[in-house]
Amino acid sequence: MRRQIVAGNWKMHGSRAEATQLVDSIVAGFNGGSGVDCVVCPPFVYLHEVSRQLRGTAVQLGAQDVCAEAQGAFTGEVSAAMLRDVGCQYVLVGHSERRALYGESDAAVARKFAAALARGLTPILCVGELLAERESGRTFEIIGRQLDAVMAVSDVSTLARAVIAYEPVWAIGTGLTASPEQAQDVHAFVRGRIAARDATIAAAVPLLYGGSVKAGNAAELFAKPDVDGGLIGGASLKAEEFLAICAAVPARKS
């Protein structure tokens, strides 16, 4: 059975008070017995406080980024050990905003992925194509390149401790969502790419879809056989909407 996961990426939104309130509402409304792993990824500065709030609950904690280096003179950066220290279990790596706005290359993302694993964090590796890349028929080439870069640094076996999120860049924060068929096609491709190296690992790795997922479209996306949940941006800032998305994950797939 693959794990099914819904992770909320809060990005750079909200205040300390809003974070506390949002977490309270999510904790109060999340059905921990549903079989879905619910993860919230607040900004760095709120991680410690949210971690305390989540103690003893079924909701888990993630960060939005991690430094590839273990420690040292890297002003402004946060290490994987620090994230573990404040209670994180997950961390996003290679989000398209990090790749596009902060110039993170495939190689840099691969190093972050390895750094997270080395400290016992579960990396949620984000991959996805630009609209122009999709329109020119290059979707699989781009996703394949992003995946291969990570597997060149970390052995395929490490994917047993990771999660992959397919996030078409054209669907993030735009209101445009990949159709369930488009999402399934890419997820099947990702699983196939991993299976070429290790079929057992490929069958077990959770593959999330992200890109304008809402309560209204989550169920049809999550119904697809290779979609094991979602990475949620904007809709994760509204507890009711986020909880409805968590509830839209169907009973476990094989």
Binding site for ligand PEP (CB under 6 A): 9, 11, 167, 172-173, 210-213, 231-235
- The active-site residue, picked from 95, 104, 129, 187, is 95
Compute the least distance from the CB of residue 33 to ligand PEP, in Å: 26
Please list the residues that pair with 89 across neighbouring strands: none
Residue closest to 142 by CA, chosen among 152, 127, 131, 126 = 127
Of the candidates 97, 104, 167, 241, the residue annotated as catalytic is 167
Between 156 and 229, CB nearer to ligand PEP: 229
Beta carbon of residue 177, minimum distance to ligand PEP (angstroms, whole number): 8
Residue 147 or residue 156: which is nearer to ligand PEP going by CB? Answer: 147
CB of 70 to ligand PEP, least distance (A): 26
C-beta closer to ligand PEP: residue 7 or 202: 7
Which of these, 132, 136, 133, 160, lies nearest to 145 by C-alpha position? 133
Q: Give the nearest residue (CB) to ligand PEP.
A: 233
C-alpha distance from residue 128 to each of 75, 97, 106 (Å): 29, 11, 12
Torsion of CA 230, 231, 237, 242, to 10 degrees: 10
To ligand PEP, the closest distance from the beta carbon of 49 in angstroms equals 22
CA distances from 147 to 40, 94, 140 (A): 24, 11, 10
Burial of 14 (0-12, 13-18, 19+ CB in 10 A): middle
Minimum separation from the CB atom of position 92 to ligand PEP (A): 8
**Nearer to ligand PEP by C-beta: 115 or 221?**
221
Tell me the C-alpha distance between 77 and 199, whole Å.
36
Q: Is 95 a catalytic residue?
A: yes
3-state SS, residue 10: coil
Q: If you count DSSP H runs as helices and E runs as strands, how many of each does the chain have, helices first? A: 11, 8
104 catalytic per annotation: no
Q: Which CB, 42 or 211, lies closer to ligand PEP?
A: 211
Residues marked as catalytic: 95, 167
